[in-house]
A = this chain, B = another copy of it.
Amino acid sequence: MGLFNKQDRVLLIPLGGLGEIGKNMMAVECNREILVIDAGLAFPDEDMLGIDLVIPDISYLVDNRERVKGILLTHGHEDHIGALPYVLKQLNVPIYGTKLTLGLAKGKFEEHNMVRDVRTVCVKAGDEVKIGNFSVEFIHVNHSIADVTALAIHTSVGVILHTADFKFDHTPVDGKVTDFRKLAELGDKGVLVLLSDSTNVEREGYTPSERELNKTFNELFVQAPGRILVATFASNIHRVQQIMDTAFHHERKVALVGRSMINVASIAMDLGYLKVPEGLLVDIDEIDRYPANRVAIITTGTQGEPMSALTRMATSDHRKINIVPGDTVLISASTIPGNEKLVARTINHLFKQGATVIYESDSGIHVSGHASQEEQKLMLNLVRPRYFVPVHGEYRHLVQHAHLAVELGIDSENVVIAENGDMIEVTREKIRIASKVASGKVFVDGLGVGDVGNIVLRDRKQLSQDGILIVVVTIDKESSRIVAGPDIVSRGFVYVRESEELIEEAKEKVKQAIENCSQNADWATMKNQIREILGKHLYGRMKRRPMILPIIMEV
């Protein structure tokens, strides 16, 4: 009945990224020591009104802070490092990552004014590092950013292999292929648990190589009669490299536009990940000195973000660049679910400005950074783990990835579909969800972390739907008589100037509600009366339910 020494078990505790896309974080616990894999953020859903970012609830780590030995970073994407500034304010532990990953993280620490407080350990693929009783191997994999590592965490119970976000790219832009041999070697020696990226499990076949884009870019750079603008993710350094190389080949000058594009590119250049041919880059202010067909602009805004460079250009709102007929715009990215309408709006605006726009539905200008089904199978077959836990995906992705594993012959009892907060207990004999720890979403709104909760969001929701009606009345403490008001102010409800009659009616209802109250009714009762009577009246008249906020002033 589960009687075994604590040394004989590993606990895997996902704190983010299971049952969702984003805010990836996984704790690995053995011999009372904890290692954390990644500390990512998520972007808010449309119902998280006013929220800037979402980070994982790390109560479990904070409660056990003396046992946390470090945070391992697989790569430098926001959904893997974005929560670091918030997490490290609560957990003073070293972080381990490759040069580029740490370089990108450092940018965040600078923004948060905490560079000096953070302890970093720079590793490279192939390294093996002792951390407490753990030994961690960093294994090169391909993805849509450079310098990504899977992690083999050696514990006293066995090896935990975490794939990071990965794909198998046989012709990566930098020539560095996923370290098949190390994966095979680990599989050969025996892997206890494989944690593998589920993001693209709905796609059959193989994800094409990043190199495949080369052909399309070349064709488009030849065809384009005027300027070429390519929007892509700033962090996709190999993509940026390919675009620069193509521009160089076709004798176009390149300007970088957009804060994050300039920022990430300069980090990548400094660290040697982006190799810019001499004389290629020009300042955006000088770009007009070259003929249109000698110009390429690399920019951000693939998701139609309202403040991004591309969106501003599309709506003639960019300080330096106006889209003109003859421009060719390539949107070299896929649309993140939830952003479809924003992206469509940007594309429509670009068409209105007269640009030729090449986007998703046209093939060949974007490839994914995540493994498709056949690659996920290859990972499973290279590693042949005893246990399998799909990670990084919404619930349906995890289920489908689990199905894949079972199809390949892994015993379904050895496959666990877990959710954030599950404590997965692994022994040599068995894997099971043993219990639950605190987990969830912590909202970042401005400088506030966690101070906006469900009550505030519920209020924002109601305010957003039908606005607010504020009823102020000043009452004499002694006589309980109204001495001023009721005044009614509304916002987001109706345009008041056109609704005077409505407001007058409402005032009458408020007076009536106050009169209805017995002489010695307390203010709370009186407020409830006002809310109820006025609410019913407005719904009957308009089928709207604004928030009604009675305020009673005593004099």
Which A residues form the contact surface with B (CB < 8 A)? 19, 45-46, 49-50, 202-203, 337-338, 340-341, 344, 347-349, 351-352, 357, 361, 394-396, 399, 445-448, 451-453, 455-457, 459-461, 463-468, 470, 472, 474, 483-485, 487, 489, 491-495, 498-499, 541-544, 547, 549, 551, 553-555
Q: Give the residue among A467, A487, A542 with the most B Cβ atoms within 10 A.
A: A467
Q: Quick check: A544 and B448 within 8 Å, CB to CB?
A: yes
Q: Quick check: B455 and A555 within 8 Å, CB to CB?
A: no
5 A–B contacts from the bound complex (CB under 8 Å): A49-B464, A344-B396, A460-B465, A464-B464, A487-B551
In the complex, which residues of chain B have a beta carbon less than 8 angstroms from the beta carbon of A46? 46, 341
Q: Quick check: B553 and A487 within 8 Å, CB to CB?
A: yes
In the complex, which residues of chain B have a beta carbon less than 8 angstroms from the beta carbon of A493? 456
Q: Quick check: A361 and B202 within 8 Å, CB to CB?
A: yes
Q: Quick check: B495 and A456 within 8 Å, CB to CB?
A: yes
Contacts A451-B498, A484-B555; A467 near B460 (Cβ below 8 A) = yes
Q: Quick check: B554 and A447 within 8 Å, CB to CB?
A: no
In the complex, which residues of chain B have a beta carbon less than 8 angstroms from the beta carbon of A349? 395
Contacts A352-B395, A549-B489; A541 near B447 (Cβ below 8 A) = yes
A22 CB, nearest partner CB in chain B, Å: 12
Q: Quick check: B338 and A50 within 8 Å, CB to CB?
A: no
Q: What is the bound-complex CA distance between A499 and B485, given in angstroms?
A: 29
A381 CB, nearest partner CB in chain B, Å: 24
Q: What is the bound-complex CA distance between A77 and B551, given in angstroms?
A: 47
Q: Quick check: B202 and A451 within 8 Å, CB to CB?
A: no
In the complex, which residues of chain B have a beta carbon less than 8 angstroms from the beta carbon of A344? 337, 394, 396
Q: Quick check: B341 and A338 within 8 Å, CB to CB?
A: yes
Q: Quick check: B446 and A543 within 8 Å, CB to CB?
A: yes
Q: CB within 8 A of A19: which of B348, B394, B463, B466?
A: B348
Q: What is the bound-complex CA distance between A26 and B248, given in angstroms?
A: 50
Q: Quick check: A494 and B448 within 8 Å, CB to CB?
A: yes
In the complex, which residues of chain B have a beta carbon less than 8 angstroms from the beta carbon of A459? 467, 491-492
Contacts A337-B340, A340-B340; A395 near B351 (Cβ below 8 A) = yes
Q: Name 11 extra pairs, CB < 8 A, besides A344-B394, A456-B495.
A: A50-B465, A50-B467, A348-B395, A357-B396, A446-B544, A451-B499, A456-B493, A474-B555, A484-B554, A484-B555, A487-B553
- Minimal Cβ-Cβ distance residue in B for A306: B47
Q: CB within 8 A of A551: which of B50, B464, B489, B494?
A: B489
Q: Quick check: A396 and B49 within 8 Å, CB to CB?
A: no
Q: CB within 8 A of A347: which of B19, B341, B396, B549?
A: B396
Q: What is the bound-complex CA distance between A468 and B396, given in angstroms?
A: 38
A501 CB, nearest partner CB in chain B, Å: 12
- Minimal Cβ-Cβ distance residue in B for A451: B494
A495 CB, nearest partner CB in chain B, Å: 6
Q: Give the residue among A337, A352, A396 with the most B Cβ atoms within 10 A.
A: A396
Q: CB within 8 A of A49: which of B465, B499, B543?
A: B465
In the complex, which residues of chain B have a beta carbon less than 8 angstroms from the beta carbon of A467? 50, 456, 459-460, 463
In the complex, which residues of chain B have a beta carbon less than 8 angstroms from the beta carbon of A541? 447
Contacts A46-B46, A50-B466, A494-B452; A544 near B445 (Cβ below 8 A) = yes
